[in-house]
Amino acid sequence: MLPDRVAQINGGSGGFSVRRLNGTESMYSDVRQLVAFFQTLSAPILENGIWVITTNPSAYSDIERAKLKTLVGLCEEKKIPVFTCRGSELPNGWKRSDVPTGWNDPVSAN
């Protein structure tokens, strides 16, 4: 999950980065579009779920923090396994269906 303010340094936009086996990469800023894309993948990939690596929570805006919470909720609703991990906690910090530590501060969903 690339923060907008980091992506803007190179003239891009942040969001959820998806890398395919063939090396192509796409960026999804909309959670519903990310989940819709995910649901088009093969059964073995669907079984493994969505894995999100984040950075320091302070790098994200309130809107971005709300997007991660929305993703976790949507995945729970659709029975999609979702795992999160802060980059500094790799490789042992993965949590299933959880928002990473430091993300639970009150945020605006708008």
64 within a domain of the structure (yes/no) = yes
Determine the pLDDT at residue 104: 54
15 within a domain of the structure (yes/no) = no
Determine the pLDDT at residue 99: 56
Determine the pLDDT at residue 20: 84
Determine the pLDDT at residue 98: 57
Determine the pLDDT at residue 83: 92
73 within a domain of the structure (yes/no) = yes
Q: Do 81 and 50 form a contact (C-beta atoms < 8 A)?
A: yes
Determine the pLDDT at residue 100: 53
55 within a domain of the structure (yes/no) = yes
Owning domain of residue 92: 30-96
Determine the pLDDT at residue 106: 45
Element (H, E) at 74: helix 62-77
47 within a domain of the structure (yes/no) = yes
Determine the pLDDT at residue 101: 52
Count of domains in the chain?
A: 1
91 within a domain of the structure (yes/no) = yes
Determine the pLDDT at residue 52: 94
61 within a domain of the structure (yes/no) = yes
Across the chain, which has 110 residues, the per-10-residue mean pLDDT values are: 91 90 91 95 91 92 93 91 90 73 47
